[in-house]
Amino acid sequence: MGARAGARGAVVTATAVVCGIVSLVVPGVAHADPADPAPRSDKRLEEVAKEVNRLYRKAEAATEAYNQARGASRKQSREIVRIARAVVDAQKRMDRLKAQAGALARAQYRGGSLPAEAQLLLRSDPEEFFRDAGTVRKGHQATKGLIASLSATQRDLDRYAKSANEQWKKLEENRKRKADAKKKVKARLAEAKELESQLRDEELERLRELEREAARKAQAKWLGSGVLDDAGGEASKQGRKAIAYATRQIGKDYEWGAEGPRTYDCSGLTSQAWLAAGRGIPRTSQEQWRQLPRVDIEDMRPGDLIIYHRDASHVGMYVGDGTIVHAPRPGRQVTLAGAGSMEILGVVRPDK
């Protein structure tokens, strides 16, 4: 009896600790009764859901910042390589020009150091004078051209040096931004996973059901607004290819920073789908929102991209009938979802 009583006491104590941690982590969650191991109410689970979603949203925003910094770093690395090749070519050109200048100087020295004009005036034969006058004129032009080429090549080398220095600075800045964003992603994901780990299996299942229920309500409200009543556009040829690619990825895991072929994040999926359709688009959801042509929701057609949340931190591809295909968040897979189940910022069209 003593051993069983001790075991029961340990269970009660452990449960109280877990409940206490959750109530401290989640704003607005009341402290649980240490002696009451009952599952949390739906209201308390909804509070947990809000906090979990907030953390995943922050992680997704940091993921897009990471993707943008990584993309910029790649671009700058390619630019530095291009500049290095241009420097090599310019240096070779400079070496050839200096060799030509040296040859001219040696020729003048062999001529007794007299300028070509003076040597011309000393000609006694008039025919030689007129014949060599043309040669001197050509020599002057060649010398001027050589000097101009030397100056232009030196300016190129100076410009390349300055440009390379600027690109190195930008590259270093983006490396720091990428590292900071990566740290934020990992921190937010760790917080969300820690919070979820404090829930029982039945609470996790109920939490997911509440999330699905909230999504269904949001979708019903969106459709009920009549926003799609006049929408009947058909996908373009490229749009159909992009949809086919994206829907083939259904069931694959979300992974932040990934762009296939085994895992994806939200903008990795949309950018790769449109690349497969023959049109390259920006890598991140923020840049897709900023750079791609916008269309009204009423004019939306399959293949268009729907950008979500005020910070444009999420994106899905519209496939028709009020549905998107998207990569939701860590721990989930590429799936179909209601286009109105999240806060819509706007719609962009890659092939407008």
Q: Which residues are catalytic?
A: 266, 314, 326
User: Which residue, 40, 93, 329, is CA-closest to 210?
Assistant: 40
Residue with tokens 């039945």: 202
Rg (alpha carbons) of the chain, rounded to whole number: 34
b/e per residue, 70-93, with b = 16+ CB within 10 A? bbbbeebeebbeebeebbeebeeb
Q: Report which of 269, 324, 265 is spatially closest to residue 59, judged by C-alpha positions.
A: 265
What is d(CA 205, CA 299) in angstroms, rounded to the nearest whole number? 38
| Side-by-side strand order, sheet with 323-326 | 294-295, 344-348, 305-308, 314-320, 323-326, 335-338
Q: Both tokens of residue 7?
A: 């075991």
Kind of pairing, strands 344-348 and 294-295?
antiparallel
